[in-house]
Structure 1
Amino acid sequence: MNATAATAPLPSDDDAVAIRLAAAERIARAAGETASAFFARRADLVVEQKAAVQDLVSQADRQVETEIRDAVAALFPDDAILGEEHGAAAGTSGFRWVIDPIDGTSPFLTGQPNWCVSIALTDPDGIAAGVVHAPALGETYVARRGGGAFLNGRRLTVDPAWTITSANIAFGATNSAAPGPAGAFVTALYAEGGVMFRIGSGALMLCYVASGRLAGYFDPLINAYDCYAGNLAVLEAGGRVRFDGDDERQGPLWCGNDRILDDLVRLTATAGF
């Protein structure tokens, strides 16, 4: 036996994250190709309604998630997985993949380009890495804890001087939100000079904050698989995120720079959220 090989150090946790992040980007791009093929023939998809008109699932969602899960299991069989369509699978490595195969199913099914594949990687310290791949837009966001956030290789930075009037504010409420607080939030935002933005994909709206396309984002109720990868992009771009949920539980989310996040928390409290 080669003594050098026998005593070679095991990969560090950072190496393990880097290996998985590179794989996540490859897997997301491959999943994007599969989703794009469905997108091109979306009129033929069997579509089901989960709870509300904006909460839909299609054959594409399920097949794309299965493809992602199979790829992860083949490469990292000891990693846990949590996906929107097929639930949780246990693991022993300490890593967990949190997957939304098509975030923005409603835009996807109606022919809009604002949908994406979102893959996050968590470890005992939180969100370690994330990839948000938007095939129809030709954009891939990649973030790593302590390593920055990037759009197609370009580093992203949140402007610390922006206010809620510097750019639009994303609002993630669907028609499942109580209409009173939803209307009150929009009224309060406009009263302070802000303008509302919505495209139907929480992951992309988070990435738009990270990339400076939006000033901030409030969602009254969002899932981990919709936001983890985007949350890390905002944080690594120098922004702030407050998510009052976890892997298993939905929760409200606020993000932006320091001032914008505080203002959004204030406005939503005033609105009754």
Structure 2
Amino acid sequence: MTTPIAEVRAAAERIAVAASVIPMAHFRAPLDIAAKADDSPVTVADQKTEAFIRDALADSFPDHGIFGEEYGISGSLEGETWIIDPIDGTRSFITGSPLFGMLMGYLIGGTPQLGLVRMPAIDETYVGLPGVGATLNGEPIRCRATTALDEALVYVNEAERIQAMDPALFARLCTVGHTRRMAYDCYPHALVASGQIDAVVDCGLEPYDYLPLVGLIEAAGGVITDWDGKALTLESDGCVVSAATPELHRELLAVLKA
């Protein structure tokens, strides 16, 4: 018997808001920065935030598995599972940008049932439950209805990574849409869910970066998959595209495959 989704949602929102105090106590303050094995940065704020979230989840749901960026896997990922990125955008965080986020996802058998994006520095909390709906600070949100790529507002995340990986693809992405912006991290995907923009192309992500987004985007009426159009799972390669409509999603997949 699984946990009632209302109980899951209430706990996720409560824990995310409470945990936000930790990164904000270190934001734009002197920090020691270490490098992980993949050369990505990590700070005490990342570690303390995840430890707080893990402890709070373990207190509320002792039988649930947890998979976090900083401390790995606790318990089983086969049943009810939480997936956590305590500071999504550590490079944004350490350079004083307020557009770092906090990600939490709730999965059953690997399938996202809830996605949460918390933006501590700008006090925004996005929550989505597929089949139920999505909210921003408690108010309903929904993706835009744009179906034509040449009318779309598009964000390209990790532009330098894409350019190094496939210069021809990067050149194509620099021409798509009515308006395009280069960006990073989770916030552009939240903007898709809230109807501010139409699509995001992203890459180099880990499961704790993209799986919490699935519940949010799908709950808001959008589509999010890998670059081949396949559903995102724990085993996906980290190349992600989110779009406001199926039609727009198909056009972006064609650009990615050209």
The TM-score normalised by the length of structure 2 is 0.89
Residues in 1 aligned to 2:99 and 2:257: alpha-carbon distance in whole angstroms:
29
SS of the residue corresponding to residue 17 of structure 2 reads helix
Residues in 2 aligned to 1:211 and 1:192: alpha-carbon distance in whole angstroms:
21
Do the aligned partners of 1:31 and 1:117 also contact (CA within 8 Å) in 2?
A: no
Flag structure 2 segments of 5+ consecutive residues without an equivalent: none
Match of 1:254 in 2: 241
Higher Cα Rg: structure 1 or 2?
1
Match of 1:48 in 2: 34
Residues in 2 aligned to 1:225 and 1:35: alpha-carbon distance in whole angstroms:
18
- Alpha-carbon deviation of 1:125? 6.7
Do the aligned partners of 2:159 and 2:183 also contact (CA within 8 Å) in 1?
A: no
Flag structure 1 segments of 5+ consecutive residues without an equivalent: 1-11
Match of 1:131 in 2: 116
Residues in 1 aligned to 2:165 and 2:12: alpha-carbon distance in whole angstroms:
40
Do the aligned partners of 1:65 and 1:100 also contact (CA within 8 Å) in 2?
A: yes
> Which stretch of the first structure deviates more once superposed, 217-226 or 59-68?
217-226
Letter in 1 for 2:181: F
SS of the residue corresponding to residue 20 of structure 2 reads helix
Pair 115,129 (structure 1): closer, same or farther in 2 beyond 3 Å: same
Do the aligned partners of 1:162 and 1:215 also contact (CA within 8 Å) in 2?
A: no
1:257-272 to 2 correspondences below 5 Å? 257-270=245-258
The TM-score normalised by the length of structure 1 is 0.84
Matched, 1:111 2:96: yes
Aligned counterpart in structure 2 of residue 81 of structure 1, from 46, 62, 66? 66
1:54-73 to 2 correspondences below 5 Å? 55-73=40-58
Match of 1:154 in 2: 139
Do the aligned partners of 1:164 and 1:216 also contact (CA within 8 Å) in 2?
A: no
Residues in 2 aligned to 1:73 and 1:52: alpha-carbon distance in whole angstroms:
28
Match of 1:242 in 2: 225
Pair 192,111 (structure 1): closer, same or farther in 2 beyond 3 Å: closer
Letter in 1 for 2:120: P
1:180-219 to 2 correspondences below 5 Å? 181=166, 183-201=167-185, 203-219=186-202
Residues in 1 aligned to 2:255 and 2:96: alpha-carbon distance in whole angstroms:
33
- Alpha-carbon deviation of 1:141? 0.2
Match of 2:21 in 1: 33
Q: Deviations over 1:18-41 (max 9, x none)?
A: 212110111111111111111142
Identity rate of aligned residues, in percent?
A: 30
> Which contiguous aligned blocks of 4+ residues in structure 1 show a shift greater than 6 angstroms?
none
SS of the residue corresponding to residue 151 of structure 2 reads coil
- Alpha-carbon deviation of 1:178? 5.5
SS of the residue corresponding to residue 105 of structure 2 reads strand
Residues in 1 aligned to 2:28 and 2:148: alpha-carbon distance in whole angstroms:
39
Pair 260,78 (structure 1): closer, same or farther in 2 beyond 3 Å: same
Letter in 2 for 1:247: L
Count of equivalent residues? 253
Residues in 2 aligned to 1:49 and 1:198: alpha-carbon distance in whole angstroms:
25
Q: Deviations over 1:218-241 (max 9, x none)?
A: 113322211222222111111111
Do the aligned partners of 2:115 and 2:127 also contact (CA within 8 Å) in 1?
A: yes
SS of the residue corresponding to residue 85 of structure 2 reads strand
- Alpha-carbon deviation of 1:173? 2.5
SS of the residue corresponding to residue 183 of structure 2 reads coil
Pair 268,144 (structure 1): closer, same or farther in 2 beyond 3 Å: same
Matched, 1:229 2:208: no
SS of the residue corresponding to residue 222 of structure 1 reads coil
Letter in 2 for 1:136: A
Q: Deviations over 1:65-121 (max 9, x none)?
A: 011111111111110000011111114892100000000111111001101111000
